[in-house]
């Protein structure tokens, strides 16, 4: 579904008339999803990534076609459990880092059942309830 898109930045100070700046319609699927066949959504439970702006109840857009490069936020499966963490690759080690000091990083050992399910590309966060 395409909705109106105003190309002018929204002022946080003195308001300006927006109707003069209507450029086109915006389809959020086209804007947010690069690989539709490889993309899924997941709802967050927990607060281990709040330092990255990911909060309980947020919806993550996850792309399975992207490479899980060092420093990316990923959805991973560790020993049968899903988690969202920042991946660090260093000296033949994989470390899943939380973005909350109350949680410890998780080093993936060679015996762990570990898979990356996808790379987080966007966070949908409800600002007001």
* Residue range 24-77, pLDDT digits in tens: 777 888 889 999 999 999 999 999 999 999 999 999 999 999 999 999 999 999
Active site residues: 48, 85
Q: What is residue 50's DSSP assignment?
A: G
Could you tell me the pTM of the whole model? 0.81
CA 4 to chain centre: 24
Q: Does the pLDDT value for residue 21 go beyond 60?
A: no
Phi then psi dihedrals of residue 48, to 5 deg? -70, -10
As to burial, measured by CB atoms within 10 angstroms (0-12 exposed, 13-18 middle, 19+ buried), residue 128 is exposed
């Amino acid at each position: 579904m395409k909705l109106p898109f105003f190309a002018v930045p929204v002022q946080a100070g003195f308001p300006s008339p927006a109707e003069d700046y209507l450029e086109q319609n915006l389809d959020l699927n086209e804007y947010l999803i690069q690989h539709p066949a490889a993309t899924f959504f997941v709802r967050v439970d927990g607060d281990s990534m709040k330092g990255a702006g990911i909060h309980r109840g947020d919806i993550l857009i996850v792309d399975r076609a992207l490479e899980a490069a060092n420093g990316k936020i990923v959805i991973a499966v560790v020993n049968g459990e899903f988690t969202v963490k920042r991946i660090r690759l260093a000296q033949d080690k994989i470390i899943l880092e939380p973005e909350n000091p109350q949680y410890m990083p998780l080093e993936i050992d060679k015996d762990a059942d570990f898979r990356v399910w996808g790379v987080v590309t966007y966070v949908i966060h409800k600002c007001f309830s």
